[in-house]
Structure 1
């Protein structure tokens, strides 16, 4: 009698969720440390903000350190969006406790959290890291659920989105973050490939984002006129060579002074910059 012997399928190794969580926090720290950034908080100045500084951001990052690991675990387990949202709401509460009620990372909790979950889920399914584009395109796995989740209509970003009729982060996420795939990542890869320092590559990417997206933070602070003005400033900086040109730091600091005079801060672009750095770094681990 022939007896068929079936080899047991090896268990797929667990995704290193803690490592993805650390990469997410490091990416937010890289955005904070990058300088000069027009209107944004850096270790050296508060930009257009009177209520926060680098210390506020560092307290927030410390409070969020477990969130990104937890949402990576959830992504690897293919958890429903309701579970991801629960982690996000808890993270937002922890952030507000740590900062005394100041919103430092609400946008990043959503977008970077989804990308961390998508990266972990991709790894669990395919046994290897996904490219930046593959991770972005994995986010719409949850789109049907997060599109119908309740919105905080009182938040500045939501008020600006409704008032000006522009898409927000949910629409970007549901489409697989085309702004990251088609603009931010190619800019960042090109800058690094041409030998720019990390700071210069990040600043070049930031200014491309400011030039080309409808940043809800800019709309909230300056309206349509403020957004258009900021985009023009970014376009002019890039047209003069951006961070590839000698003396770029001084020119960007001058741009920053004009942003501060108008109290403008491209916080949405900063969130996407941190997401871009995470997507690049997770490819290598």
Structure 2
């Protein structure tokens, strides 16, 4: 695989993480404006983490092109996680994004290889299907972290979390995030951040985020989904003073210590898929 292909995919993944960070209001989450419901990380932490892990997305792209197994992808992912923790002083900023975006980068490499190394025109559906078909079963059979928020939510509430989304080929990003992002662009054609906010609220309204379950239980999850749905029902970013309305939701999440980290990862996935479709 030429370096330019792996570099292109890795750059798209890194850019998606930065664009997700620079989206506000994003209820409860860290952004370039504030730290949301978190007191152990800020935008600088996320930027340092993104710089540290972006090269590994290139390695995962190459691994996918080589037909690597899930075990090999996990090895690279664990190296990326160690780099993240070294860059952040032990703070987990991007463990979920290493896993999810890493799989999609590997899928980009795999589909490039399948096109006989010609120019590859990636689509979201193609990449999602590749993850599902190549690694879906291995994802669900793989080791489960004993003390992750997702694992705790799985035990307590039966939520599938990031593993189930990945094994299914990220349907929530493809079927909810991408259409909402593109609709947001139509609602606010001169404001790319507005489109990202609209996509985030659509994901939040319909996603059983295990981070929300961990912090707020079913009551917190339902509150978050209802708040997001209400914002969209009022017109989303097409309504007057949408930013003030979204900020009000953000403040209530902070007051309740809610943080939909899984939805943040799905927004980054959405932005990554949109970028590869547009620039491949």
Relative to the length of structure 2, the TM-score reads 0.94
| In structure 2, C-alpha distance between the alignment counterparts of 1:171 and 1:211, rounded to whole Å | 18
The count of corresponding residues between Structure 1 and Structure 2 is 274
Q: Does 1:272 align with 2:272?
A: no
> Are the counterparts in 2 of residues 184 and 209 from structure 1 also a CA contact under 8 Å?
yes
Counterpart residue number, 1:245: 239
Q: Which residue of the partner structure matches residue 102 of structure 1? A: 91
Q: Which residue of 2 aligns with 1:207?
A: 201
CA distance in 1, matches of 2:177, 2:71: 29
Offset of 1:14 from its aligned partner? 7.4
Indicate the structure (1 or 2) with the bigger Cα radius of gyration: 1
Equivalent residue, structure 2, for 1:224: 218
TM-superposition CA deviations, 1:244-265 (whole Å, max 9, x none): 1121111111111100000001
Contact 1:122 1:129 in 2 (8 A): no
Question: Which protein has the bigger helix share?
Answer: 2
Q: Where does residue 9 of structure 1 map in the other structure?
A: none
The yes-or-no answer on 1:30 pairing with 2:12 is no
Aligned partner of 1:64 among 53, 78, 87: 53
Per the TM alignment, residue 175 of structure 1 is displaced from its structure 2 partner at its CA by 1.4
Residue 191 (structure 1) aligned to one of 173, 178, 184:
184
Query: Which runs of no fewer than 5 residues in structure 2 stay unpaired?
Result: none
Asked if structure 2 preserves the Cα contact closer than 8 Å seen for 1:38 and 1:260, the reply is yes
Q: Is the 8 A contact 2:21 2:43 kept in 1?
A: yes
The alignment yields a C-alpha RMSD, in angstroms, of: 1.4
Q: Within 1, Cα distance between the matches of 2:131 and 2:4? A: 17
Residue 13 of structure 1: CA displacement?
Answer: 6.8
Which has the higher mean CA deviation after the structures are superposed, 133-142 or 23-32?
A: 133-142
CA distance in 1 between counterparts of 2:276 and 2:186 reads 17
Residue of structure 1 aligned with 2:138, choices 127, 145, 149: 145
Q: Give CA deviations for 1:159-196 in whole Å, capped at 9, x if unaligned.
A: 01221001121211221221122111111122224525
Are the aligned partners of 1:72 and 1:117 in contact in 2 as well (CA < 8 Å)?
A: yes
Aligned mates of 2:186, 2:275 — CA distance in 1: 14
For 1:59 and 1:122, the matched residues in 2 are separated by 30
Moved more, 263-272 or 166-175: 166-175
Is the Cα contact below 8 Å between 1:119 and 1:129 reproduced in 2? no
8 Å CA contact 2:150, 2:162 repeated in 1: no
Distance in 1 of aligned mates of 2:275 and 2:260? 23
Cα distance in 1 between the residues matched to 2:102 and 2:274: 15
Unaligned runs of 5+ in 1: 1-11
Trace 1:57-206 onto structure 2 (pairs within 5 A): 57-126=46-115, 127=118, 128-140=120-132, 141-194=134-187, 195=189, 197-206=191-200
Match of 1:261 in 2: 255
